A = this chain, B = another copy of it.
Amino acid sequence: MSASDEHDCKVALNTRANVLHGFTGYHLRCAWQVVQADLMHVLKSLDLRLATYSTLLLIVETPDQRQSTLADTLGIERPNFVAIVEELERRGLITRTRDLDDRRAYCLNATSEGLALADQAVKACRAHEEKLFGQLSAEDRAQLDRILRQFRTLESGR
């Protein structure tokens, strides 16, 4: 899975008698839409977007990486990544230090503030997941997780 030229579309199609309801992909989309809406709301309270959240998290978890590497991992085009990194730096959440071995490159690292915010964000997301998926039975929840993981594994080997 990588960045591509597809664009998202918001079509919800809230009708009951529709062929789309015969498609698993449709239900997948609806589910993701629900999760996304709530997730974005949660992150907004920390002044984070999906992109800044994921970026911050990745920097926290893999320190001393350069921008290109991170952008690739995230599936974000390098030009678009610049603004994200600039924002995180401006907010004092990460630092950009020149790589001494390659003076073109930056090494990105989280500050203690960044670490703290990432921690807060992850906690908030866990609560959000609990709220959303906690309504499923424990078995269903585990099944869903397992099947989704398997699906990804199968598809990545295409």
Contacts and interface: CB of A to CB of B under 8 A. Distances in A.
A18 B2 CA distance: 17
A129 B25 contact: yes
B144 A34 contact: no
A37 B73 contact: no
Number of copies: 2
Contacts of A39: 25
A21 B145 CA distance: 10
Contact of A31 (B13, B15, B17, B148): B148
Instruction: Determine chain A's interface SS by DSSP, over half rule.
Output: helix
A140 B24 CA distance: 12
17 contacts: A1-B14, A8-B8, A10-B76, A12-B75, A15-B73, A19-B61, A20-B57, A24-B144, A27-B148, A31-B32, A34-B151, A34-B152, A135-B151, A136-B150, A140-B150, A144-B147, A144-B151
Nearest to A4: B37
A100 interface: no
Interface of A: 1-4, 6, 8-15, 17-20, 23-25, 27-37, 39-40, 49-51, 54-55, 57-58, 61-62, 73-76, 122, 125-126, 128-129, 132-133, 135-136, 140-141, 143-145, 147-152, 154-155
